[in-house]
Amino acid sequence: MTQIYRHPDEYDLEHLGDQEDIGFYLGLVRHLRPKRILELGCGTGRITLPLAKQGINYGYRVVGLENQPEMLKSAAEHQRRAGPQIQQCLSFVEGDMRSWADDEPFDLIMAPCSSVSHLHDLEDQIKTWRQARANLCAGGRYVVEVTMPNLSVFADSFSRPPRALVEIDIDNFDETAGIRLIRRKTSSYLSHQQRAQIRFLYEKYREGRLVDSYLDDFASHIFFPRELELLFIHTSFQLENTVGDYQGHPLSAHSPLVIMTGRRD
């Protein structure tokens, strides 16, 4: 598990200003009108809290599932600060998406932000899809989002000896704390496992001076669109919809994402 999930404040700083995915999921929920929503790998509640806020007017409840205690603690703290109305329609629970079950079924389960990429083995992926199906009522939907594999990023891994390009992929400024976070990223692709070994190098600056630096190494399973389809089909979902970005465009050669929805009959 990546180090950054042990430092939820830094996770939030990394995602500062990310609004597009939140807007997408709020819109999806307004369209589908579920009564009970489960978010798998909810982290600090970045998406869960705005969902719950919308739920006050739309009359649905949200559960955020997370297996990293530090992230869950931060989510609970955000919930506490959000006020009593949100607290009533939202709960955070500690558990593993491969096995967690609730007494009542959900009608929408979502796994945004490539959370399923932390499932490296086919066995764990199938367990997670089956468990999602078991947690859904008839007609319920399971929505999975992953980043579209970018073969140009992985191309250097195929040179001999392999090269690893380092790019700055995040440059965020937290005005309240006066902290600028710069993240450099380098990936090596292991084609036989469909796995990217990712190294994030973080630097924090205050008034232009380096105040902290750290690194985080983790592995990410690279899902291809056809593979996601097969996971849904193998676990008895009906494929309902696939889009390639947060604007809802159909999947194309230039799609940055794969957001696939399966329906339980």
Ligand X SMILES: C[S@@+](CC[C@H](N)C(=O)[O-])C[C@H]1O[C@@H](n2cnc3c(N)ncnc32)[C@H](O)[C@@H]1O
Closest by CA to 1, choosing from 94, 63, 70, 48, is 70
Closest distance of CB 55 from ligand X, Å: 17
- Closest to ligand X by CB, 41 vs 55, is 41
Closest distance of CB 116 from ligand X, Å: 8
Closest distance of CB 15 from ligand X, Å: 6
As a whole number of angstroms, the distance between CA 78 and CA 204 comes to 23
**207-227 core/surface letters (b: 16 or more CB in 10 A; e: else):** eeeeeeeeebebebbbbebeb
- Closest to ligand X by CB, 211 vs 215, is 215
Closest distance of CB 156 from ligand X, Å: 24
- Closest to ligand X by CB, 99 vs 213, is 99
**134-173 core/surface letters (b: 16 or more CB in 10 A; e: else):** ebbeeebbbbbbbbbbeeebbeebeeeeeeeeeeeeeebe
Closest distance of CB 246 from ligand X, Å: 12
Closest distance of CB 114 from ligand X, Å: 6
Closest distance of CB 50 from ligand X, Å: 11
As a whole number of angstroms, the distance between CA 69 and CA 94 comes to 7
- Closest to ligand X by CB, 46 vs 264, is 46
- Is 229 exposed, middle or buried (CB count within 10 Å of its CB: 0-12, 13-18, 19+)? middle
Contacts with ligand X by CB under 6 A lie at 5, 15, 41-43, 46-47, 65-68, 71, 96-98, 112-115, 118
- Closest to ligand X by CB, 129 vs 238, is 129
- Closest to ligand X by CB, 12 vs 107, is 12
**Token pair for 175:** 């005005």
Q: How far is CA 123 from the centre of its chain?
A: 20
Number of residue whose CB is nearest ligand X: 41
* Whole-Å CA distances, 233 to 34, 133, 226, 261, 262: 23, 12, 10, 11, 9
Half-sphere exposure of 109 (CA within 13 A, CB side): 30
- Closest to ligand X by CB, 156 vs 172, is 172
As a whole number of angstroms, the distance between CA 245 and CA 251 comes to 8
